[in-house]
Amino acid sequence: MVSLESGSERDNLFESTDGDDDNNTHHEHLNDFDDRRKRYEKNQTKIQVNERRPLMDSIGVLSSTTTLNSSKNIIPDNGNNSNNNNKNSEKSDRDNSDEINNKKYGWDGKSKRNLNKKSLKSVLIRLHLSYSFAIILLFGFISMGLWISFSVVYENSQSGIILGTSCGRSLNGRDINFYASELLNFDNDFQFNQSIINAIEQLQLNHQSLPYLEEVRPLMEGTYGCWELDQSKCLKEDSIYYNDVNLGLDWIVESFFRKILNLINTDQSLLSTSEDYQWLKAIGSELFLIGLDTVTFKYFLHYQRLQEWATMVLTSILAVNCVILLIIYMALFRPFMNHLRIQHIHTLALLRLAPDDIRYMEISDKAIDED
């Protein structure tokens, strides 16, 4: 039996010098293998961090983790095997990981950052100026078009009123002519006489309210000549009524009023032989009514001409406004919309290159809109 104090067989096995050298060599090989494995894991960590690409790095909006990687050395430069270096490396890895998680790739979406505000402001200012110029241009042309349209429509409506008044005057003349032909059948009938007086007042009112247009003035003043449709029925110079017709239709209308009022106050037995009644038969029946109809036709031509002019003006104004709208769209808004479309495509392309956590990151509008 071997004593423990004097050493055992196992102790004797490790007493030789050669055995100690081999054992030390074996332990150093294990330590080198552990160091290489740790360095490999750190290299993998560095590659994964460096593969993260920045979003909008050209304008400096979102900083990538490359800034963090450049400021912190993940892998030590020396290959020392000391435990202090290993602890420092592990601590550096933890700090980098915590800083990356806290930074959220350089921007947390809520802090105030410079989102290329100079470029955005220039685009917004150009857009506002384009809108202002377009609105002023449209407002000017539309206001001018409305004013011209109002003037043309008002003039056209006035010509329609004049035409209606002239038609009413012709109708009143026919009514009075009918009453004059029935004077022989009603002897001093008050109601009948009052109807004649009312018709005369209406005819006089319509006659005085009508303007003298350039087309109507010759006929009213007597320089028009004979207005009979059948020129063979025109009065000759030797006629006793030729001078009345030669003075114009205005004189005939005034004479017509006087003749009718005289007949109302004339005794019925003297009506058929009175000069006023003969005048009505010669002039006040056919020639007088044809003159009123001729003047009405002149007013109708004037109204028709204004209608055509109003239609042309309104159509021209509408066409000019449509052309201006098209020019504004092609020169101002269409290039801007194309620019927005291109920027939208670029933004989508950049977002597709971004990591998922940035792509779905919630961004505060207040931080973007803040100056």
Highest mean pLDDT among 93-102, 117-126, 315-324 belongs to: 315-324
Q: What are phi and psi of 54, to 5 degrees?
A: -80, 155
Highest mean pLDDT among 21-35, 54-68, 248-262 belongs to: 248-262
The pLDDT value recorded for residue 53 is 45
Q: What percent of the chain has pLDDT over 70?
A: 63
Q: What percent of the chain has pLDDT over 90?
A: 8
Q: What is the pLDDT of residues 327-371, one digit of tens each?
A: 888 887 788 788 778 888 888 887 778 777 665 666 555 545 554
Tokens of 123: 């685009």
Mean pLDDT within 40-63: 47
Q: What is the pLDDT of residues 140-159, one digit of tens each?
A: 888 888 888 888 888 888 88
The pLDDT value recorded for residue 363 is 56
Rounded to whole angstroms, the Cα distance separating 138 from 328 reads 9
Which of residues 251 and 366 earns the better pLDDT score?
Answer: 251
Q: How far apart are the first and last CA of the chain?
A: 94
The identity of residue 180, as a single letter, is A
The pLDDT value recorded for residue 183 is 79
CB contact burial 276-295 (16+ within 10 A = b; e otherwise): bbebbebbbeebbebbbbbb
Which of residues 177 and 187 earns the better pLDDT score?
Answer: 177
Q: 300 falls in which pLDDT band (50, 70, 90)?
A: very high
Q: 18 falls in which pLDDT band (50, 70, 90)?
A: very low
Q: 16 falls in which pLDDT band (50, 70, 90)?
A: very low
Return mean pLDDT, the chain. Answer: 73
Q: With a cut of 70, say whether residue 50 has pLDDT above it.
A: no
The pLDDT value recorded for residue 304 is 92
244 three-class SS: helix
Rounded to whole angstroms, the Cα distance separating 360 from 76 reads 35
Of the ranges 230-234, 239-243, 265-269, 360-364, which one carries the lowest mean pLDDT score?
Answer: 360-364
Transcribe 261-279 into DSSP letters: HHHHTS-GGGTTT-HHHHH
In the chain, what are the domain boundaries? Answer: 19-52+61-103, 166-312
Highest mean pLDDT among 47-61, 63-77, 94-108, 180-194 belongs to: 180-194
Mean pLDDT within 22-28: 49
Cβ(288)–Cβ(177) below 8 Å = yes
Q: With a cut of 70, say whether residue 292 has pLDDT above it.
A: yes
Nearest to 137 by CA among 11, 287, 265, 321: 321
Scan for tokens 């241009």, then name that residue: 137
Of the ranges 77-91, 196-210, 277-291, which one carries the lowest mean pLDDT score?
Answer: 77-91
Q: 168 falls in which pLDDT band (50, 70, 90)?
A: very high
The pLDDT value recorded for residue 165 is 92
The pLDDT value recorded for residue 167 is 92
Q: 128 falls in which pLDDT band (50, 70, 90)?
A: confident
Q: With a cut of 70, say whether residue 326 has pLDDT above it.
A: yes
The pLDDT value recorded for residue 338 is 83
